[in-house]
Structure 1
Amino acid sequence: MSAESCPIDHSGPATAACPVSARAEAFDPFGEAYQSDPPASLRWSRDEEPVFYSPRLGYWVVTRYDDVKAVFRDNILFSPSIALEKITPVCPEATEMLARYDYGMDRTLVNEDEPAHMPRRRALLDPFTPAQLAHHEPMVRRLTREYVDAFIDAGKADLVDEMFWEVTLTVALHFLGVPEEDMATLRKYSIAHTVNTWGRPSREEQVEVAEAVGKFWQFAGTVVEKIRRDPSGPGWMPYSIRLQREMPDVITDSYLHSIMMAGIVAAHETTANAAANAMKVLLENRSVWEEICADPGLISNAVEECLRHNGSVAAWRRLVTADTEIGGVPIPKGAKLLIVNSSANHDERHFDQPDELDIRRENAGDHVTFGYGSHQCMGKNLARMELQIFLEELTKRLPHLELVADQKITYLPNTSFRGPEHLWVQWDPAANPERANPELLRTTRPVRIGEPSKRSITRTVVVESVTRAATGVVRVRLADPAGRPLPRWSPGAHIDLELGELSRQYSLCGDPAEKSVYEIAVLREPESRGGSRYVHEELAPGQVLTMRGPRNHFRLDSSAGKYLFVAGGIGITPIIAMADHVRAAGKDYEIHYCGRDRDSMALLDRLIRDHGDRLTVHAAGEGRRLDVDRLLAVPVDGTQIYACGPERLLSALDSAGQGWPEDSLRVEHFVTTGNGLDPAKEHAFEVELADSGLTLQVPADQTVLGVLRAAGIDISSDCEEGLCGSCEAPVLTGEIDHRDHVLTKSERAAQSRMMTCCSRALCGRLTLGL
């Protein structure tokens, strides 16, 4: 190491050691390891040195999830101004070539600082909202169908050259509103921009690339002027030109020229690469590919997991504007950062078993492939739409395709965008499903525009047995059809089952250590809306069901000194799993089980067998009703109360426990008392999104969740009734009108988070950490 290439001042004491490790010195983002698999090549960094200086690159490299997201979140301290800076110094000949074409690429949404950025972003956002993107779906479907038609009977194809590259570019040009007659010319120039900015071309290649970029720039200006003469048509450029009349200081002529060129690259290459990456990883994981072929309902979440596991944007760049720290490492003002979001997407501190492709991963949408905050990719939902339609068409028409063996997968060397240059697949045309079933081509599935709801994360289970558990109660055992282990779960967890046209939640009551089977108990409800009736009258061994979960919003606090479990009726199901866990841990506990009579109390035999010395049965038919006031008359420090049952029991416990320490009582609700929004009783308010830089209006008849989705903000959801906690958002300022059944009293009092599906503002404005 020479002192000149090291960021640390070596003019001090001679004993000062150079802080650049051998691995940091050897890091080469243009080397084979990084180009083939960026996350794997940086595993050492995530484990040992998550922020390091690369003398070869002249950048600080950031690799862990929390650190990467923190950098994305603060676009003032970490300026995006170098995001499009050429990572390889340009030779004089290439600079001269660009000057011949009057190349003058200005700041765009990708690399401009505040205060210029957010006014432009807000002004230009509308064409990217889900409602507006929906208009492009028929065009994407038509193009995809036409390109697959062209090779469906060939038996072999390069999906990059023959589909992904062409369809995504055509979609990008249509989205921008480029006239049809100019599309062919713009196609020729798009790749040169990527090599010019993120690649490492030789001196001779730089001149060649610069000429292509110069022509691209010049022709892009010609197209802008053509659109300007008649900006009445559809597309982002006509929209921007119309908007310029109202906001000439925000939407300038030079800005229009620049976003015309940058928009083609942003909308085209990243999506084409993402599609190729997704197909490659799915076909390499054959069982996963076969799952989505069998169940197209998994496609939306498969897209999200592929974006996480093998996204097309490997890294971004930022400039540090003041002395700071990242992950505890001092970073000086003026330092350049390579923030490797592909590495962050494989950080085991945030994603369980991150190197596995798990299309049912509930937090797949946490990936930072699209960036985060005020500079998050505006076109993310257009890309999601295209990927879903590609997978729908290929899984439906070519479920039997496979990768051509022994092909060498190559990548265009650059730090930031990655995808196979070619991806050869093969299949037997005689086995094409549409030959036997032409009706197949008439079926389509709805596209989800935005991050997938957790309701779309499903798996198939088979009913192993249905047996009597008590009068009016059956015990159902569920297993994986192929005998594979089911996901791990913890006491208090529940699953969602699709029962005919209905979806119902049931707590798991078996043994969490039994990996091959889930067990639930279902009460026959006299006023059933159909779920319990279906289970009791139609469910039979061998039947295949769709399941979501498990999820747990009724978690057991392992730090309590003693546990008081109270169950009413079928509410025993989450409680028995908790009691089993506490007993195994050797903790002090007692169980109070309430029911009409012993014959109707599910799982009573097992409770007596396993917890008899800790169990008190309160059977009303025996005159042994639970005296809630007496039970909770004397608060006991260090004791946690867990209760599940009818609302009247939970309300009685809440009233009787007022003298206990805050949050001693934790309850599980299975129904909500909310009746939806009554605009006559609600008020409108604003939500400011601190990380995204947007301010949104929440009308009296809409939820915060609905408004966030309409603005293209990624946020998960599931029950949308305030029961599950999936749609939680951090609240930075403002008073919350909590209407959920998830947060405890102290959590509500903290005013630091809310469930966006139901809770609202008590005041006129909330600031969310989104």
Structure 2
Amino acid sequence: MSETPSQSTGRCPFPHAAGEARGAAPRCPVSANAAAFDPFSDGYQQDPPEYVRWAREQEPVFYSPQLGYWVVTRYADIKAIFRDNLTFSPSIALEKITPTGPEANAVLESYGYAMNRTLVNEDEPAHMPRRRVLMEPFTPDHLKHHEPMVRRLTREYVDRFIDAGRADLVDEMLWEVPLTVALHFLGVPEEDMDLLRKYSIAHTVNTWGRPRPEEQVEVAHAVGNFWQFAGKVLDKMRQNPDGPGWMQYGIRKQKTHPEVVTDSYLHSMMMAGIVAAHETTANATANAMKLLLQHPNSWREICEDPSLIPNAVEECLRHNGSVAAWRRLATKDVQIGGIDIAAGSKLLIVTSSANHDERHFADADLFDIRRDNASDHVTFGYGSHQCMGKNLARMEMQIFLEELTRRLPHMRLAEQTFTYVPNTSFRGPEHLLVQWDPAQNPERTNAALLGAHVPVRIGEPSAHALSRPVVVERVDAVAEGIVRLRLVAPDGGALPGWAPGAHIDVECGDTGISRQYSLCSDPADVGAFEIAVLRETPSRGGSAWMHDTLRAGMRLKIRGPRNHFRLDEEGARAIFIAGGIGITPVSAMARRARELGIDYELHYSGRSRKTMALADELAQLHGERLHMHVSEEGTRNDFAALNVDEHARVYACGPARMLEALEVCSEAWPEDALRVEHFAASGGKLDPSQEQAFEVELKDSGLVLNVGADQTVLDALRRANIDVQSDCEEGLCGSCEVRVLAGEIDHRDVVLTRAERETQTRMMTCCSRAKSGRLILEL
């Protein structure tokens, strides 16, 4: 983003014809689509991303004369706006998008309504000190004790309608349970539920809606009553400041930080907190249930495999979240997406459109509960103003889905027309009618269902949540101690595409063990994944289970494919080096190099020919390009004799001793010539006695965290409520990578190449640390 020459503000930013009559339609270069844009229209209310598809594709930043706002629709632009809360002030986030008339204003004044800035809409330097002081109750460790209460409430509400055969999930569960949880979290007495629902809707309409003049007075009375209700509850809390709840926590913090946590601030947060903590969760869950029931295969899959629920929640939040848009104010002349925006301009940033941006989410309109980057959505915002309650919402949504899929897997949508409260920013169906046959309720024949539950993951879902079922089609012995498995989809359909070097994670039944295996088949074969498994001695349990247990026809759960060992398909020369079972990823890479016409050679080392998998197949495919190095036959690969020039890339996978020898030789090769796939990380477990504490500064979030000698960076980030994906947590998979802006990294992963490490711009948070006292991360 760059600053631009100043423009006039407070009116249409384009020049008008001289002498234009007051009230006449502006004659300026606003496109027809931009002129017609109306966020209160039924098209926007029903499907905001589809309504602005034209903008996302053709005019990603446009001016809306009807609204008086610039509208931003693409992912990269919106994330950049969230990242810079100084240039793009949140101060108008709660400003009434439709100004109220004098009569309604007089009503609000009669109630003493004096809503102040809150965490949502205050600028620096006030915002971050308050956020830091008030954040702790929102961290995963502190949210855990709310889980039993959420589960108990959910079950009680399901009990009320489970034998009825039909329900309005919004009216009968999805509004009241989140509201009760919100009140419990805040420490507010569970009273006047219906009244609070009315107040909450009025607050939404008052801030983000377009009430007609005759409605404004009614809304103002509800908002005024809401304000007085919040004040009375706060006064009660002050009499018992040691009670549970976030508001009592704030009252206690007021004693130590009176200049940060003020009386007016607490009153405003009481009111805003009741709305924020329940309305968005209620809407998000209603949207998620609607979406899942509209996709019966996805609903069936989470019914059969509850481990998919955490990622399904993220995909629901991405595809159809409860927050359609946010607002920002440009504090200086700036450029967004190549468009000049003047200081003082108001921005409507359509986050729901960003979540459907093909530039960031492949096949973005597809609803895919296994989408590996679903949690990149900006439904919770991003950076220093990201929603603090995001993990409370995730926890509630997971429990709702788990209870409903377990107890009512045969639920389906009833015939209905979906309606929404008209506003720019928050959306969820006002009603959600569902039906089922009570005679088919599983608990009628299996009472044990009532006591079962899946542990909730509090925070961003792990890649472990993305498992998919496969069937073992064949098990073939291909060498001494090695079996080759052919895995297919249960329905015989296509499996996800993959590139050579990719691996999958196989869950070894009920052992709790998960192991990574490289794909060794032809990537063009979309009907199957093939892996080769060596029985290790001694085995950690995975390979022995695979050899002793698996037979054709059995089902497995896998995750992936994922790839951190990619072939450079633009390269001129490739040297492939494999040792033992390391031939699996290398074989697929060599096959691809052959197809592309890349100049290559393949070196395969093993103890004896009978222990070397795929040898005959490799000989047939690669002929003289294959060089076998067999210890029993006295042949050995001489790494120093390899011709590695500036045009060559060396790809290696095999035992640690072989890779270490290659690392030594590579010192004399051109920079970044060697690419390695490891079987295991070499960093070992964290030894606090050998480590030093350090700090990480989170540039986008405005936080500084201490990373103790007994902590990883990933641990510290999770405890601070910062989202980072993870999987292996051994420095093997690359899932937890973050960008580093400054500081010296102590790299301990086996993912990055030597050249990538030397740039000091990327690190794996699960294992790598700081050599200096502080790292600055782009988070």
TM-score, scaled to structure 2 = 0.96
Tell me, in whole angstroms, the C-alpha distance in 2 between the residues paired with 1:364 and 1:655.
40
Tell me, in whole angstroms, the C-alpha distance in 2 between the residues paired with 1:593 and 1:431.
58
Relative to structure 2, which stretch is displaced further, 454-463 or 176-185? 176-185
Which residue is equivalent to 1:72?
82
Query: Aligned-pair distance for 1:653?
Result: 1.2
1:527 is matched by which residue type in structure 2? Answer: P
Partners of 1:157 and 1:425 within 8 A in 2: yes
Tell me, in whole angstroms, the C-alpha distance in 2 between the residues paired with 1:187 and 1:40.
29
1:611 matched to 2:622? The reply is yes
Unaligned runs of 5+ residues in structure 2 are 1-8, 21-25
Query: Aligned-pair distance for 1:674?
Result: 2.1
1:7 matched to 2:17? The reply is no
Which residue is equivalent to 1:522?
533
Which residue is equivalent to 2:357?
347
Pairing 1:118-129 to 2, within 5 Å after superposition: 118-129=128-139
Relative to structure 2, which stretch is displaced further, 114-123 or 535-544? 535-544
Which residue is equivalent to 2:168?
158
Pairing 1:181-330 to 2, within 5 Å after superposition: 181=191, 185-330=195-340
Tell me, in whole angstroms, the C-alpha distance in 1 between the residues paired with 2:83 and 2:10.
32
1:711 matched to 2:717? The reply is no
SS in 2 for 1:610: helix
Which residue is equivalent to 2:425?
416
Which residue is equivalent to 2:401?
391
Pairing 1:13-52 to 2, within 5 Å after superposition: 18-52=28-62
Query: Aligned-pair distance for 1:38?
Result: 0.6
Relative to structure 2, which stretch is displaced further, 349-358 or 281-290? 349-358
Which residue is equivalent to 2:587?
576
The partner residue of 1:537 within 548, 565, 571 is 548
Which residue is equivalent to 1:675?
684
Query: Aligned-pair distance for 1:441?
Result: 0.3
Tell me, in whole angstroms, the C-alpha distance in 2 between the residues paired with 1:17 and 1:497.
63
1:752 matched to 2:761? The reply is yes
2:623 is matched by which residue type in structure 1? Answer: G
1:454 matched to 2:460? The reply is no
Pairing 1:653-732 to 2, within 5 Å after superposition: 653-732=662-741
The partner residue of 2:442 within 422, 433, 439 is 433
2:418 is matched by which residue type in structure 1? Answer: I
Tell me, in whole angstroms, the C-alpha distance in 2 between the residues paired with 1:110 and 1:62.
19
1:494 matched to 2:503? The reply is yes
SS in 2 for 1:521: strand
Deviations 1:424-463 (A, max 9, x none): 0000011101111111101111011101011111101110
Tell me, in whole angstroms, the C-alpha distance in 2 between the residues paired with 1:696 and 1:157.
46
1:94 matched to 2:104? The reply is yes
1:475 matched to 2:484? The reply is yes
Which residue is equivalent to 1:115?
125
Partners of 1:618 and 1:626 within 8 A in 2: yes
The partner residue of 1:368 within 378, 381, 384 is 378
Deviations 1:586-644 (A, max 9, x none): 1111111111122221111111111113111111121111111112xx54121110001
Partners of 2:17 and 2:27 within 8 A in 1: no
Tell me, in whole angstroms, the C-alpha distance in 1 between the residues paired with 2:193 and 2:256.
29
The partner residue of 1:645 within 654, 658, 661 is 654
1:45–1:185: structure 2 CA closer, same or farther, 3 Å change rule? closer
1:519 is matched by which residue type in structure 2? Answer: E
Partners of 2:655 and 2:679 within 8 A in 1: no
Query: Aligned-pair distance for 1:239?
Result: 0.6
SS in 1 for 2:583: helix
1:459 is matched by which residue type in structure 2? Answer: R
Query: Aligned-pair distance for 1:182?
Result: 5.8
Tell me, in whole angstroms, the C-alpha distance in 2 between the residues paired with 1:301 and 1:450.
11
Query: Aligned-pair distance for 1:659?
Result: 1.6
Tell me, in whole angstroms, the C-alpha distance in 1 between the residues paired with 2:475 and 2:244.
57
Tell me, in whole angstroms, the C-alpha distance in 2 between the residues paired with 1:735 and 1:471.
46
2:315 is matched by which residue type in structure 1? Answer: E
Query: Aligned-pair distance for 1:116?
Result: 0.1
Tell me, in whole angstroms, the C-alpha distance in 1 between the residues paired with 2:263 and 2:366.
47
Deviations 1:178-208 (A, max 9, x none): 1234656534422110010001110011111
Deviations 1:352-377 (A, max 9, x none): 11111111111111010000000000
Deviations 1:469-515 (A, max 9, x none): 11221110001111121111111000000113111100001111111
Tell me, in whole angstroms, the C-alpha distance in 2 between the residues paired with 1:227 and 1:733.
45
Which residue is equivalent to 2:67?
57
Tell me, in whole angstroms, the C-alpha distance in 1 between the residues paired with 2:520 and 2:265.
60
SS in 2 for 1:145: helix
**RMSD over aligned Cα atoms:** 1.6
1:181–1:27: structure 2 CA closer, same or farther, 3 Å change rule? closer
Tell me, in whole angstroms, the C-alpha distance in 2 between the residues paired with 1:658 and 1:239.
57
TM-score, scaled to structure 1 = 0.98
2:231 is matched by which residue type in structure 1? Answer: G
Which residue is equivalent to 2:613?
602
Tell me, in whole angstroms, the C-alpha distance in 2 between the residues paired with 1:21 and 1:550.
44
Query: Aligned-pair distance for 1:583?
Result: 1.0
Which residue is equivalent to 1:561?
572
SS in 1 for 2:689: coil
Moved over 2 A (4+): 3-6, 9-12, 16-19, 179-188
Tell me, in whole angstroms, the C-alpha distance in 2 between the residues paired with 1:5 and 1:374.
30
Tell me, in whole angstroms, the C-alpha distance in 1 between the residues paired with 2:34 and 2:594.
49
Tell me, in whole angstroms, the C-alpha distance in 1 between the residues paired with 2:644 and 2:313.
51
Partners of 1:635 and 1:659 within 8 A in 2: no
Query: Aligned-pair distance for 1:726?
Result: 0.4
Partners of 1:200 and 1:414 within 8 A in 2: yes
Tell me, in whole angstroms, the C-alpha distance in 2 between the residues paired with 1:268 and 1:765.
38
Percent identity, please. Answer: 68
1:729–1:591: structure 2 CA closer, same or farther, 3 Å change rule? same
SS in 1 for 2:688: coil
Tell me, in whole angstroms, the C-alpha distance in 1 between the residues paired with 2:51 and 2:188.
40
Unaligned runs of 5+ residues in structure 1 are none
Which residue is equivalent to 1:625?
636
Query: Aligned-pair distance for 1:9?
Result: 2.8
SS in 1 for 2:175: helix
Tell me, in whole angstroms, the C-alpha distance in 2 between the residues paired with 1:538 and 1:108.
58
2:461 is matched by which residue type in structure 1? Answer: P
SS in 2 for 1:245: helix
Tell me, in whole angstroms, the C-alpha distance in 2 between the residues paired with 1:181 and 1:489.
54
Partners of 1:389 and 1:447 within 8 A in 2: yes
Deviations 1:256-292 (A, max 9, x none): 0000000010011100000000000000000000000
Tell me, in whole angstroms, the C-alpha distance in 2 between the residues paired with 1:174 and 1:522.
51
Tell me, in whole angstroms, the C-alpha distance in 2 between the residues paired with 1:11 and 1:720.
63
Query: Aligned-pair distance for 1:322?
Result: 0.5
Partners of 1:637 and 1:661 within 8 A in 2: yes
SS in 1 for 2:603: strand
1:131–1:534: structure 2 CA closer, same or farther, 3 Å change rule? same
Tell me, in whole angstroms, the C-alpha distance in 1 between the residues paired with 2:137 and 2:542.
41
Deviations 1:691-750 (A, max 9, x none): 111111111011000111111111000110001110011111111111010111111111
User: What is the number of residues matched between the two proteins?
Assistant: 764
2:235 is matched by which residue type in structure 1? Answer: E
Partners of 2:15 and 2:28 within 8 A in 1: no
Tell me, in whole angstroms, the C-alpha distance in 1 between the residues paired with 2:41 and 2:201.
21
Query: Aligned-pair distance for 1:5?
Result: 5.8
